[in-house]
Amino acid sequence: MKYYMTTMSSMVLGSFLMLSVVCGVTWASENIDPGNTGAQHGWGENTGWLNAEPLGDGGPGVFVEDDGLSGYFWMENTGWASLSCLNNSVCGTRNYRVTNDGNGKLAGYGWGENTGWISFSCSNTNVCSTKNYGVTIDPATGHFQGDAWSENTGWIRFRTKTGTVSYGVTTSWRPLVLSLDIDLNGDANVWDGSMICRFLDPAITQPGDVAAGLVDSTGGRTDPQVIVDYLTMVREKGMLDADGNITSDGFDCDIITAFLFGITSDSLLNNGLGEGATRTTADQLVTFLSEFLPSMAGVSSTAEVVTVSSEPEPESLPSALTTEPTDSIVLEEPTSDPTTEPIVSTKPSSRGKKKGHRKRRK
């Protein structure tokens, strides 16, 4: 069961908010366990239960973005671990972070006072040929999968389906999907093309003018400012550059609109191409634009996790994570496979129970 904050834990979170101003500790609101199903737990063979949302919604938990992770998770035997130097503003002296390739493949390092460096991929030290490990996020469901390696405490697993106790971490993050379905109504059509043309018209500067009369009110993206923000982002990523000349302009507008009208012949070229175009045939244009047609396939976001009656509760706040790394990242790589699972009677420790930290494994 998801951790519902008591009055005391609310006071703790409030204290953390005050300390974050004084100590320079910052975090973005976590985006873990969006369905409130308890999808916030991992398990370490020496760290015990890991909680990626230790103080409930909006607390200093794990925050997943397109380029990496930030925030903290809590482990019942070893305390807090930081996923980014941005948390404590120490990147100038120790630059570390768990990175995301944009599609859920994680790499890089986290840091804990008792765990030491935590590696999220064998690629960090080029040992995948001998010890192939790593953590990924399923781009369809947001489920964390796989194993990380701590130099002091060994394996940390983020999901299991086969053990006697099921657990897992799930995020609301999904990869950015580039789609010509601008209003997210499930169909890319000439109305979407018209919004693209208005957006690319330098004479049209107001979001309301870009979207007026063209948005399907049943779509998932209907606010004019949100539409303009989306179009700005996909233009930067090249989706609106149909002819491939590194410029999005009226030529691209005409090509995209004709394509969305159903034209796939040489008629796509009727209004010309921009100077320096690299996609110059109808086949090349159709192949490029077809990549951005919306998929109607549904995906499930249900987390497969155990329902537990209590959570591992932090003994202190991550503002106490003042022991930032002083050594460079030299990780002792694993010599065993990550096979350890919690026994059936093991559950996250009761709230309020103080637990001592286990000694670092040499």
Question: Is residue 328 scored above 70 in pLDDT?
Answer: no
Rounded to whole angstroms, how far apart are CA atoms 180 and 189? 8
Residue 354 included in any domain: no
- The mean-pLDDT minimum among 158-162, 169-173, 287-291 falls in 158-162
pLDDT, tens digit, for every residue of 41-90? 998 888 988 999 988 787 789 999 989 999 999 998 998 899 998 888 88
Q: How confident is the model at residue 26 (pLDDT cuts 50, 70, 90)?
A: low
Considering the domain architecture, whether residues 159 and 278 belong to the same structural domain is answered as no
Domain extent for 94: 7-175+301-320
Q: Write down which residue in 268, 290, 312 finishes a domain.
A: 290
Provide the pLDDT for residue 58. 77
Q: Which of 72, 74, 100 is nearest to 87 (CA)?
A: 72
Question: Is residue 325 scored above 90 in pLDDT?
Answer: no
Provide the pLDDT for residue 151. 86
Question: Is residue 239 scored above 50 in pLDDT?
Answer: yes
By percentage, how much of the chain surpasses pLDDT 70?
72
Residue 342 included in any domain: no
Structure tokens at 271: 């209004």
Provide the pLDDT for residue 27. 53
Question: Is residue 276 scored above 90 in pLDDT?
Answer: yes
Its sign, for the CA torsion 110, 34, 11, 8, is negative
Give me the torsion for CA of 170, 171, 176, 179, rounded to 10°: 70
How many angstroms separate the Cα of 311 from the Cα of each of 16, 81, 241? 19, 17, 50
Question: Is residue 354 scored above 70 in pLDDT?
Answer: no
The DSSP secondary-structure symbol of 93 reads: T
The rounded radius of gyration (Å) of the Cα atoms in the chain is 24
By percentage, how much of the chain surpasses pLDDT 90?
48
Q: Write down which residue in 290, 311, 331 finishes a domain.
A: 290
Considering the domain architecture, whether residues 284 and 312 belong to the same structural domain is answered as no
Considering the domain architecture, whether residues 91 and 234 belong to the same structural domain is answered as no
Rounded to whole angstroms, how far apart are CA atoms 144 and 53? 14
Considering the domain architecture, whether residues 110 and 36 belong to the same structural domain is answered as yes
Residue 309 included in any domain: yes
Considering the domain architecture, whether residues 110 and 196 belong to the same structural domain is answered as no
Residue 251 included in any domain: yes
Structure tokens at 300: 């499930």
Residue 47 included in any domain: yes
Considering the domain architecture, whether residues 163 and 26 belong to the same structural domain is answered as yes
Provide the pLDDT for residue 48. 87
Cα 71 to chain centroid, rounded: 12
Question: Is residue 134 scored above 70 in pLDDT?
Answer: yes
Question: Is residue 232 scored above 90 in pLDDT?
Answer: yes
Structure tokens at 224: 């004019």
Q: Which of 305, 245, 234, 302 is nearest to 279 (CA)?
A: 245
Rounded to whole angstroms, how far apart are CA atoms 114 and 166? 26
Rounded to whole angstroms, how far apart are CA atoms 20 and 14? 10
Rounded to whole angstroms, how far apart are CA atoms 229 and 176? 13
Considering the domain architecture, whether residues 37 and 169 belong to the same structural domain is answered as yes
Name, in order, each residue with C-beta under 8 angstroms of 228's C-beta and a sequence gap of 6 or more: 199, 207, 210, 211
Provide the pLDDT for residue 255. 97
Considering the domain architecture, whether residues 210 and 100 belong to the same structural domain is answered as no
Considering the domain architecture, whether residues 117 and 244 belong to the same structural domain is answered as no
Residue 99 included in any domain: yes
Q: How confident is the model at residue 348 (pLDDT cuts 50, 70, 90)?
A: very low
Q: How confident is the model at residue 284 (pLDDT cuts 50, 70, 90)?
A: very high
Location of structure tokens 């890319």:
188
How many angstroms separate the Cα of 335 from the Cα of each of 130, 146, 338? 9, 17, 10
Average pLDDT for the chain:
78
Considering the domain architecture, whether residues 273 and 316 belong to the same structural domain is answered as no
Overall pTM > 0.85: no
Considering the domain architecture, whether residues 167 and 268 belong to the same structural domain is answered as no
Residue 116 included in any domain: yes
Question: Is residue 327 scored above 60 in pLDDT?
Answer: no
Domains: count for the chain: 2
Residue 38 included in any domain: yes
Considering the domain architecture, whether residues 125 and 228 belong to the same structural domain is answered as no
